[in-house]
Amino acid sequence: MTTIASAPQPRPVVPFWFLRAARAVPAGILAQYLLAGLALFQDGLFWAWHGGLGLAIFLPIAAMALAAWLARPARALRWWTGLLVVLYVLQVVLIVSGQSFGSGLLQALHPFNGGLMLVASLVLVAKVERNRARTAR
């Protein structure tokens, strides 16, 4: 007797707001680079905007991290959201400690870490979008 293997069940789609938060992070990081450039080459006033947006980026990151630990559909994204949280905390530590100690090296690592955050957030968006595309079929 042969048995027919059932088709694998698609993973559940993450909540709509998770997708919006995932898309907001890379957009916010790119805006951070723009604001830093404007502060360097246009007007130092943009540093305040850069700092404010940096704090605001924490909201979608924290929302995704909470969802990854509490919402069943987002559990598969725990590793990437956890990495994003660690990189965000490191981002703040680098700039604050760099300014406190007057360390140019720590401050120079701040934009490099921002690049790592951008890559991690884009991978996260790609994973969410791929999951949505699979379940839409």
Condensed to tens digits (0 to 9), the pLDDT of residues 119-134 reads 999 999 999 998 887 7
Question: Count of alpha carbons within 13 Å of 64, Cβ hemisphere only?
Answer: 29
What pLDDT is recorded for position 8?
61
- Nearest Cα neighbor of 83 from 110, 113, 109 is 113
Q: Is the pLDDT of residue 17 over 80?
A: yes
The single-letter DSSP state of residue 5 is P
What pLDDT is recorded for position 137?
66
List, for residues 88-119, the tens digit of each pLDDT value: 999 999 999 999 999 999 999 999 999 999 99
List, for residues 23-77, the tens digit of each pLDDT value: 999 999 999 999 999 999 999 999 999 999 999 999 999 999 999 999 888 889 9
Q: Delimit the domains of the chain by residue range.
A: 16-136
Report the distance separating Cα 100 and Cα 115, nearest Å. 23
Specify whether the CB–CB gap between 71 and 14 falls below 8 A: yes
What pLDDT is recorded for position 6?
64
Report the distance separating Cα 75 and Cα 81, nearest Å. 10
> For residue 1, what pLDDT band results from cuts at 50, 70 and 90?
low
The single-letter DSSP state of residue 45 is T
Q: What is the mean predicted confidence (pLDDT) over 2-15?
A: 65
Is the whole model's pTM more than 0.85, yes or no? yes
